[in-house]
Amino acid sequence: MKTLLSTFTAGLLFCLPALAIDPETLAANPAQIEALQMTEVPLVLSEEKGGWIVIPEVFKTWSATIFRPDQKHLGVARITVLEGGYLLIACNFDYQGNKSGDWSRTAMSRRDFVKAGWKELEASQLGGELIQQDNRAQVIYYKEVKKGESLSLRCNKYDPPYPILLHPKVLAGF
């Protein structure tokens, strides 16, 4: 009976879904990164072109910053990790144009991001969606990255994956 109960308990534990990471953990240990041709700015509501019209509560609570492209149609996020920690990225997988220009060879699908170790965060875990001014809803992933890592990420033709960092308090200079 004892063996049967242990096997049953182990089976139940195996079936339970993994818990999402706590935002406090993400904010307590944000990576420090450099993103080529991108600038770090506060992630705030904005009606400006390329701005964000809906922001999840977690990003508001933890003083999130986002890296925006310095030029139109950047497409690729080239990231160097200066100090290890947690990195979030926002990706849009909606149709953004035909496959001309060979960009689709390097574009990663949702499945590719997961295979590469990124974990998806649901809107319900974040307290809402992240939606850009052009009504493009973003899929949010996180990963613990290591110092010295170089990432070249693409999820679409024009919009790059947007790196996001959570911070435990309001940052000076922003």
Residue 138 maps to a domain: yes
From CA 151, how far away is CA 42, in angstroms rounded? 22
SS3 164: strand
Domain contains 171: no
Residue 35, domain member (yes or no)? yes
Residue 158 inside a domain? The answer is: yes
How does DSSP classify residue 47?
-
Report the length, in residues, of the chain. 174
- 40: three-class secondary structure by DSSP: strand
Report the amino acid identity of residue 74: L
The token duo for 39 is: 């600038």
| Structural domain count, the chain | 1
In a domain, 44, yes or no: yes
For 62-118, the DSSP string reads TT-EEEEESSTT--EEEEEEEE-EEEEEEE--S--S-STTSGGGTPPPHHHHHHTT-
Which tens digit of pLDDT belongs to each residue from 41-100?
999 999 888 899 999 999 998 889 999 999 887 889 999 999 999 999 999 998 787 777
What value does the mean pLDDT of the chain take?
Answer: 84
Locate 76 and state its tokens. 């690729």
- The parent domain of residue 134 ranges over 20-165
**150 belongs to a structural domain:** yes
Tell whether 2 is covered by a domain.
no
In this predicted structure, the answer to whether residue 128 has a pLDDT above a threshold of 90 is yes
The whole-model pTM stands at 0.83
Of 42, 154, 148, residue with least CA distance to 89: 154
* Mean of pLDDT values over 97-121: 87
Does any domain span residue 12?
Answer: no
